[in-house]
Structure formats: C-alpha cells, structure tokens
Amino acid sequence: MIAHSIFFYTFSIIAIVSAIMVTASKNTVHSVFFLILDFISISCLFIMIGAEFLGMIMLIVYVGAVAVLFLFVVMMLNVAQQKNQWFSSEASSKHIPVGLIISTLIFVELIIVVGGWKYKPDLFDINNSLELAKVSNTHSLGQVLYTDYIHVFQISGMILLVAMIGAIVLTFRKRVGVKIQSYIKQISRERSDGVSVLKVESNKGVKIDD
Amino acid sequence: MEYLGILFDQVYKILFLLVPVLVSVAMVVWLDRRVWAFVQKRQGPNVVGPFGLLQTIADALKYIFKEIIIPSSSNKVIFILAPIVTMTLALIAWAVIPFSATQVLADINVGVLYLFAVSSLGVYGIIMGGWASNSKYPFLGAIRSAAQMVSYEVSIGVIIINVLLCVGSLNLNDIVLAQQNLWFVIPLFPMFVIFFISALAETNRPPFDLPEAEAELVAGYQTEYSGMMYAMFWLGEYANILLMCAMGAILFLGGWLSPLEIYPFTLVPGPVWLVLKILLLFLLFALVKAIVPRYRYDQLMKLGWKVFLPLSLIWVVLTASYLFYFNLLPVN
C-alpha cells in the first residue's frame, strides 16, 4: 500500500501544481503545456483506481487531439499579447464577475455530489457491481453504453456532429479563381483534346483561336 | 526490502527489453541506408565493421562528441525537453509488446489503446522542438507534422476497430491468439494496406516526410538541433518506425505465432518470429523510401481524409455486418 500512496500523492501533487501553473504562467504556450501535464497526471490517477479504459481514452482524446489543436491556436494567434491587454485594461473587470459565477456554480455542484455520496451512498451504488466485477472495464462500459444509454449516446454524438458542421459552415468561404486538381479530369483526358495535327502550307502559318 | 526486490526485478526486465531495442534501432538505420543504396545501385555504408554494420554506432559516437548549440532566442527548457520527449515516448511503448505468450513486460487489459495513446503523444516532441526553436522553418515543419499525424491517427484508429471487432478484446496477447487459425492480413487485406500507408505518414517517413522536406524546409523541426539532441530525434524516429512495424505485425501478421503449426516451424521460439515479421515490414518501409517520390501536401491531406477515412469506415460496417449475420461475433 505504501507504494500505492506514494504514486497517488506524486500524481495528485503534479496535477494540482500544474493546474495552478496553467493560470499562473505568463507565457500562453507554457500554460497549454502545463494543461497537458495536468491531463496526463489525471489519466494516471484514473489508471490507479482501476479505470484503465477511461485513463487511456483521456490520453488519446484530450492529450492526443484536443490539446494539439489548443497548441495550434495558441501558437498561431499570438494570444500572449491579447492576454496582457485583458489584464491591464479596464475590460478585465468585465470578465471577473462571469468567472466568479461559473466557478461558484462548479463549486456548488461539487459540494452537492460529494455530500450526496457521503450521506446517501445507496444512490451511487451500482446495482449489479458484483456481476460487473468479473468482466473487464471496457466490456462493462460497452454493455451499459450500448444498451441502457444508447439514446443518450446517439444524441450526444448528433450534437457533436451538428457543432462540427456549424463550425465548418461558419468558417467556409469559397475561393474564386483557384485551380483545383481533379483526378478524373486528368485521367480521362484524351490525346485528341490537347493535340491536333495540321497540314501547314509554307509561308502561311497556322491560325490559332479561330 | 521487499519493494527493493520488486524494483530491481523490474529494472532488470526493462533493461533486458530496452537494450536489444536500442541495438536493433542502430542496426535498422544501417539496413535502411543499405537498402536505399542498393535500389540506387550504390554500395551504402560498408566500411565500419563487417558489412558496415557498426556505421550507426560510429555516427552516434560522432554526435556525442559534437557541441550542442542552443539558439540564444530559443525557449531553452522546451528546446531541451523536445528530443527527450520523442525518445522517451518511442521507448515506453515497447512495454506492452508481447514477444511470446509469457514474455511481455506489462500484460495490460487495454494494450492496444496504450499503444495508440503513446503513438498519438509522439506529435508533442515535434511541436515542442519546432516552436521552441523560434525560427520559421522548424515552426512550419512542426505545424505540417502535427496536422499530418492527427489526420492519419484517425484512420489508424478506425483500422484498429476493425481488428478489435474480430478479436473482442483490447489485450495484445488475445489479439495474437485470435489469429491462430487465420492471420488477419487475409480477411482484412485492404485494411492492412491502409494501415501500412498510414503508418508511413504517422512516422513521417518518405513519401510523406513533408515535415522535413529538405527542398522546402531545410530540415523541418530538426533544423536548429545539433549533436546528441539531433541524434535523439533521429533514434527516436527509428524506434517509432520499429514500433509501428511491431504494431502491424501484431495486428495483422499474427505476432509471435509461427506461420505454420507443423514440426520444423514450431521449434523456432516466438520472439524470433515476431522479429522476423517486424524486419519484413521494415524492409517494405525502406523500399518505399527508395522507390516512391514525395507527395504534395494537399494530396497528402486529401488521401488521409477523403480516401482512407471513408474506406476504413465502410470496412468497419462490412466487417461488423459480416460477423453479425454469420454469428461470428466474439462474445465472452
């Protein structure tokens, strides 16, 4: 158990410190790297409590894809200057109440969840935990997700699809005058489309573009 | 004392895995250059050691004794971290590769997901190196590479789903054992081809080596690196290539299983078969490098998103419906 708690405290300290550093560091790119460190240590914590599927999915989705896009945006847009403007100008006072309200909401939700877990433990009991203990994590997740919660699962997928299409529609602009390669056009081009053999009389030349 | 014993045992096992991996990375670099040379009717490295086998070790020694130059305008911490991240990620993935039914460092439930996660983290070494160099060409190379790796991971993920549908488990040893009667390369042959090409793109190998296209970007994200740090990028890249070959061998070529379960073949131990399969795939990687010219960037993106992704998705539907209608779905 000692080794277990050593690992637990190491990962949780790294997670907390890097979460603080996300907001505290001046360089925006450093913030994103600290966010990635935070994701990784949290997925390590997931693996430690036996939720290995969740931990790996966390690594693949958040660290492997979402954080890469974060880094892209931060590196390309030069957010560092804008961030400093926000904090120095009077506009920052507008953001503080919004942030406060959101963080209070999250805090209250956490208190409700932890309180419910403490005082009404039977609500959080998985009713067939003994049955599930035999199969692996991934199997049990799949059995619940694709049977009881299939509609919720499908709806969340549809919402993500709509969001994606919306983002594409909003940013799409058709550019005029761009040559686009078309394989079918290239392959189906015949010799007669490009070349024609003419008999040219001497001293007359050929008329092009008649 | 008990913990110390466990620790020493594990360290011994890890060294027993990593030292051969590093040595084979060195050998594989030599093989790559040799094959490349033979395709072009040259000799290739043949001076240091027998057949030039020690060429890579000589190169590595040279890199060790060279000065490491850190550009003054670079972000030093991230600049130094980038090659370390690349090398570490290339090596930790070997923990779950099964060399036989029992010879595996960590026989975890979600082995495939672990491999996939580690290979998707590989992009960070490149982005960090490109950004921290604070120079145009490395940054352009890093952006190209990140976009390329993220797009090709999607099709690799869908291909892995195909294999998992036939196996019913995420454990790598289960995947190997499910191929005892028939290697997945036969029923899923189109997926094997797409996996191979995606692996080329994922590891930034030619013909998809646009992040380091020397005609456009000098050396891409490696431009500002020198000495040992450059060597670590270089070795990490080859370790990643070997890893993708191992992944292909396990997912499609039956891992450590022998090709025929008859007398002379069964004498050969499992690890030898796995190494032979990895070498076969690597030979294909090396030949492709020598034969195929480089892709244009928009063609690369088109291939990933408009050809491979729809094809592999259709194949998932086909596999799933075939397994469903013939009642072959693995249920346990």
**pLDDT over 70 (residue B36):** yes
Q: What is the pLDDT of residue A47?
A: 87
CA distance A176 to chain B (A): 18
Question: Is residue A196 very low, low, confident or very high in pLDDT (cuts 50, 70, 90)?
Answer: confident
Mean pLDDT value across chain A? 82
What percent of chain B shows pLDDT beyond 70? 99
Q: Which residues of A touch B (CB under 8 A)?
A: 2-3, 29, 33, 36, 52-53, 56-57, 59-60, 63-65, 68-69, 71-72, 75-76, 135-139, 181
Question: Could you read off the pLDDT of B198-227 as tens digits, one per residue?
Answer: 999 888 888 888 777 767 777 778 888 888
Average pLDDT over residues B6-21: 86
Pairwise CB contact (< 8 Å): B113 & A136: no
Is there a contact between B94 and B243 (Cβ–Cβ < 8 Å)?
yes
Which residue shows structure tokens 């030898």?
B272
Q: Is the pLDDT of residue A126 over 70?
A: no
A16 CA: distance to closest CA in chain B (Å): 21
Q: What are the pLDDT digits (tens) for A97-109? A: 888 999 999 999 9
**Amino acid (1-letter code) at residue B51:** F
**Count of C-beta atoms within a 10 Å radius of residue B87:** 22
- When the pLDDT of each residue in chain B is averaged and rounded to a whole number, the result is 86
Interchain pair A68, B117: CB under 8 A:
no
Across A34-52, average pLDDT: 89
pLDDT at B153 over 90: no
CA distance A121 to chain B (A): 29
Residue type, B238: Y
Stretch B281-295: mean pLDDT: 89
Per-residue pLDDT at B192:
92
Tokens representing residue A121 in the block = 């433990």
Residue of chain B whose alpha carbon sits nearest to that of A74: B131
For residues B195 and B251, the answer to whether their CB atoms sit within 8 Å is yes
Q: Assess whether pLDDT exceeds 90 at residue A160.
A: yes
pLDDT score of A154 more than 90: yes
What pLDDT sits at residue A210? 59
Residue B323, chain A, CB below 8 Å: the answer is no
**Res. A132: pLDDT tops 60:** no
DSSP codes, B190-214: HHHHHHHHHHHHHTT-TTS-GGG-H
Give yes or no for residue A143 having a pLDDT over 90: no
Closest listed residue to residue B194, CA positions, set B295, B313, B83: B313
Q: Out of A78-82, B129-133, B313-317, which region has the weakest mean confidence (pLDDT)? A: A78-82
Asked if A52 and B153 come within 8 Å (Cβ–Cβ), the reply is no
Reply yes or no on whether the pLDDT at A83 is more than 60.
Answer: no
A79 pLDDT above the threshold of 60: no
Which tens digits make up the pLDDT trace of B95-133? 898 988 888 888 888 889 899 888 888 888 888 888 888
- Report pLDDT for B195: 93
The answer, for B131 touching chain A at a CB cutoff of 8 Å, is yes
Comparison of pLDDT for A59 and A1, the residue scoring more: A59
Comparing alpha-carbon positions, the chain B residue that sits nearest to A183 is: B299
Amino acid at B31: L
Q: For residue B67, give the nearest of B183, B216, B229 by alpha carbon.
A: B229
* pLDDT value of position A81: 58
Whether pTM exceeds 0.90: no
Which of A185-194, B39-48, B165-174, B278-287 has the highest average model confidence (pLDDT)? B278-287
The whole-angstrom distance between A175's CA and the closest CA on chain B is 16
In this prediction, residues B145-164 reach a mean pLDDT of 88
Question: CA distances (Å), B33 to each of B28, B201, B249, in order?
Answer: 9, 19, 22
Type of residue at A164: M
Which residue in the set B109, B113, B146 is minimally distant from A68, CB to CB?
Answer: B146
pLDDT confidence of residue B193: 93
Task: Count contacts between A and B (CB, < 8 Å).
Answer: 67
Supply the pLDDT for residue A104: 94
